[in-house]
Structure 1
Amino acid sequence: MPRPRRRLVSTCIGTVTAGLLATGAALAAPGEDRSEGSDIAMGAYLNYGPRGVARIPHLSRWLGGKEIRVGHTYLPGDQWAGIEGRVSFLADWAEWRQEEDDRMFVLNVPMQERNEGRVPDYEVAQLIREGAEGQYDRHFKRLAERLVSLGVPDTVIVLGWEMNGVTYTHRCAPDPENWKAYWRRIVTTMRSVPGQEFKFDFAPNRGTDAIGWTKCYPGDDVVDVIGMDSYDQGPGRTFDDQITQPYGLQRHVDFAKAHGKEISYPEWGLFRRGDNPEYVRRMLKWIEQHKPLYHTITDYCPHGVWQCKQNPQSAKAFRDALVPERPGPVIPTPVSLGIICGARVTTPSPSLMA
C-alpha cells in the first residue's frame, strides 16, 4: 500500500512545515527592528519659503523613505509687516501642514523689527520696555489671526529664540524683567484670538552666552515647550562638555522636567569644528534618549548634512542613524522533531523553506 503511505508522509511533513513557517513569522513581527526613537518628530530647515517645502520629499527619499513630520521656517524680522505674517510663503507651509494630521509646523517669530540690525543695548532696553507696556500687541494679534485664517492654528511658535545671546534685537540681557513681561504680553495677546491652539517654545542658545537663560524664563503659564539651539561649537571642546557645562544640554533637560514641560531642539547642526560625525552621532543619541517633542537640523552650509556637501562623514552618520531599518529574512527556529509518522524527521534548512 505505497500510495496511502506517501499521502500520510506528505501530510505530516506539510503540517510540520506550516508550523515552522508560523514560528519563523512570529519571530519577525513588524516593527521589532525599528529604532527606539523612530517616532520622534523630525525635520530640517531647508529654506524659508516654497523651496523649503519642495525639498522635504527629496530629503525623505535620501533618508530611505523616513517620514519628515516637521516643517520649519522663520518670519523675517526687518519690518513689522513680516512679523505680522504678511508674507506669501506662509500659505505654502500651511498647505503642507494640512496634508497630514501628524505633521507639525514650527515657526520662529522675532519679537522686534530690525531684529538683526545690531541695535545697541540701551536701545534694546527701551524697545523691551515699550513691548512690556503693550505698544506692540497689535502686531502679534495680526500674526495670530493670520495663522488661524490659513488653517494652522496649532503652529509651534519659537518666540524670541536665542534670547540669551548678543545677536538679535529681541535679546533678553539688556532688561530681563521687562523682557519676561513682554513675552507674557505677546503670548496672552496671541492666545486671545479665537480658534488658536498655539504652542509657545522658549528656545535659548546652549550655554550661558550673554546671560544665563533661566533668568529670562517668563513662567510656566506662558511656555508650552522648552527648547534649545545647540550647534557644534564652544563653549566646551567635546560633546560631554556640551552636556555638563553651565546652562548646557543636561541643565536644559533637568529644567524642563522640573517645570513639567516637553523639550525640543529647533536648531542643531555642525559649525566651527567642521565635518564631525562624532557630534552628529552623539546628538542623535541624546535626542533618542530624551525624546523631545521635535528636532530640526539646520541643513545649509556650514551646518548641514544633506544640502551641504562639505560634510560627507557627518552626512553618512546622520543617514545611517535615521534611515528606517528593514525587516530581515524570516529564519525558522530550529526544532527537534524526533520521529513523526514512523520516520525520523530532521529540521529543514532555510533553503527548504523558500
Structure 2
Amino acid sequence: MSHRGRWLAGACASTVAVGLLVTGGALATPPQESSGGDPGTEVAVGAYLHYGSPGVERMQELSSWLGGTEVRAGHTYLPGDTWSNIEGAPDSLRSWARWRKARADRLFVLNVPMLERNEAGFPDDRVAELIRSGARGEYDHHFQRLAERLVALGVPDTVLVLGWEMNGFNYTHRCRPDPENWKKYWRRIVAAMRSVDGQRFRFDFAPNRGGDAIAWTRCYPGDDVVDVVGMDTYDQPPGHTFDEQVTQPYGLQQQVDFAKAHGKRISYPEWGLFRNGDNPEYMQRMLAWIAEHKPLYHSITDYCPHGVWQCSQNPNSAQVFREFLSSNEGHGSAFRLRP
C-alpha cells in the first residue's frame, strides 16, 4: 500500500495503530509485565489509520467500539520523504513512546523506510545504485541515529518493520533491482541499529502476499537479522478467494511454513478489505486464520476502502470484526474469538 495513502488517511476515516490481546478460541492469560506485548502465543491486534499523535488519541475510541477491549499494540510509520524523518524526527514519536511506556505489556510497531524519497518512482537502475550505496554502508549513520532516538525515548524494544513490501514494484526500497545487495543493505541496517547500547529491537521482514515483482524468499536476508516473518495481505488478486490467498505461491501458507522452518513468529502488519468490497466471509476467514496461527501481532488497515471501524461502506465486515474481537463481558485483555 502507498505510504502517501497512509499519510493522508485522516481524511478518510478514524482509527489508528492499535492492538489488543487475543487467543484463538480460549481466554487469554493475564499479560506478563516484562513481556513487551509478547506473552506466549497471545496476539496483539491493531487497526491502522493515522501515523501521528491523533492515532494515539483514537485508541480509546476503538476500544470503546469493541466493547471495552483493552488496546495493547500501537502501529505507525516513519515518512520516507527525507533522511531526517527516517532518523525519527517526527515529534509524534514522543506520543507513541508515552503510550508504549504507560503499560509494560504493550507492543510498539514502527514501519521504517530503507531509503529517502521512497515513493519517488525511480527506475530500477537508479534504485540499484541506491541499494549498492546502502550495502557499502553509506547510510548506516541514519539508522544508528534512529536507534539512538528510540532508545532515548524509552522504546528500545520496538518492533521495526524494515523495508516493508520489498517484493513489490512501487517503493524505492524495493528488492528486485538488486536482491543480493538489498540483503547486504538490510544486514548493515540491522547491525547499525543493534550497535546502540540498550536496544532490544525486533526486525520484521514483511513482503506483500504473493509473487509480486520478485519472490520474497529471494530477498530474505538471514535468520540472524530477522526476528519476525510478516506479510501484508489484502482481499485482492492474486487470490480471488481466501483459499487461493492461502495456497498461491508465496501466499499465506508459504509464509507460515517458511517462518516455522526458520524458527520465527509471524505477523500481519497490514491486512484488510480491498478489491472485493464489503466481504464478511473474507473477514471471518482471515480472523480465523489469525486465531489458528497466532501471529505476534496483526494490524488491519482501518481507513476506506480497507477498514471496518468508521468506514461505513463495509458494514457487514465491520460486524464480523467487532464480534470476533469484542471484549468478553468487559474484562479487557481477556476475551474470546467468536468464529
TM-score (norm 2): 0.85
Match of 1:304 in 2: 307
SS of residue matched to 1:317 = helix
| AA at the equivalent of 1:320 | E
Work out which of the residue numbers 61, 71, 81 in structure 2 matches 1:58: 61
| AA at the equivalent of 2:233 | S
Work out which of the residue numbers 18, 33, 36 in structure 1 matches 2:26: 36
How do residues 14-93 of structure 1 correspond to structure 2 at under 5 angstroms? Answer: 35-36=25-26, 39-93=42-96
Match of 2:273 in 1: 270
Q: After the TM superposition, which of the residue ranges 63-72 and 102-111 deviates more from structure 2?
A: 63-72
Match of 2:3 in 1: none
How do residues 115-154 of structure 1 correspond to structure 2 at under 5 angstroms? Answer: 115-154=118-157
| AA at the equivalent of 2:219 | C
SS of residue matched to 1:226 = strand
| AA at the equivalent of 2:46 | G
Match of 1:251 in 2: 254
> Aligned pair 1:279/2:282, yes or no?
yes
Match of 1:26 in 2: none
| AA at the equivalent of 1:141 | Q
TM-aligned CA deviation for residue 81 of structure 1:
0.6
Deviation string for 1:307-326 (max 9, x for gaps)?
21111011001001111233
| AA at the equivalent of 1:287 | I
Q: Highest relative contact order (Cα 8 Å, sep 6+), 1 or 2? A: 2
Contact 1:164 1:171 in 2 (8 A): yes
CA 1:37/1:181 → structure 2, altered by over 3 Å: closer, same or farther? Answer: farther
Contact 2:160 2:202 in 1 (8 A): yes
TM-aligned CA deviation for residue 156 of structure 1:
0.2
Contact 2:205 2:229 in 1 (8 A): yes
| AA at the equivalent of 1:103 | R
Contact 1:147 1:153 in 2 (8 A): yes
CA 1:34/1:112 → structure 2, altered by over 3 Å: closer, same or farther? Answer: closer
Counterpart Cα distance in 2 of 1:298 and 1:194: 33
Q: Is there any run of 5+ residues in structure 2 with no aligned partner, and where?
A: 1-22, 29-41, 331-339
How do residues 140-219 of structure 1 correspond to structure 2 at under 5 angstroms? Answer: 140-219=143-222
Identity rate, percent: 70
TM-aligned CA deviation for residue 46 of structure 1:
2.4
| AA at the equivalent of 1:72 | H
Counterpart Cα distance in 2 of 1:190 and 1:135: 14
Match of 2:238 in 1: 235
Match of 1:339 in 2: none
Counterpart Cα distance in 1 of 2:64 and 2:250: 36
Deviation string for 1:162-182 (max 9, x for gaps)?
000001000000000000000
Question: How many residues get paired?
Answer: 295
TM-score (norm 1): 0.82
| AA at the equivalent of 2:199 | Q
Counterpart Cα distance in 2 of 1:201 and 1:255: 14
Q: Which runs of structure 1 show a deviation greater than 6 angstroms over 4 or more consecutive aligned residues? A: none
Q: Is there any run of 5+ residues in structure 1 with no aligned partner, and where?
A: 1-32, 328-354
Match of 1:222 in 2: 225
TM-aligned CA deviation for residue 40 of structure 1:
1.5
> Aligned pair 1:110/2:100, yes or no?
no
TM-aligned CA deviation for residue 34 of structure 1:
8.7
Contact 2:24 2:294 in 1 (8 A): no
Contact 1:47 1:73 in 2 (8 A): yes
TM-aligned CA deviation for residue 35 of structure 1:
3.5
Deviation string for 1:66-88 (max 9, x for gaps)?
12111000000011011000110
TM-aligned CA deviation for residue 37 of structure 1:
7.4
- The structure where helix makes up a greater share of residues is 1
Contact 1:34 1:324 in 2 (8 A): no
Counterpart Cα distance in 2 of 1:86 and 1:322: 34
Match of 1:344 in 2: none
SS of residue matched to 1:57 = helix
SS of residue matched to 2:299 = strand
Counterpart Cα distance in 2 of 1:321 and 1:300: 19
Contact 1:44 1:70 in 2 (8 A): no
CA RMSD in angstroms, aligned pairs only: 1.3
Counterpart Cα distance in 2 of 1:326 and 1:96: 25
Counterpart Cα distance in 2 of 1:211 and 1:193: 33
Deviation string for 1:104-131 (max 9, x for gaps)?
0000000000101111100000000000
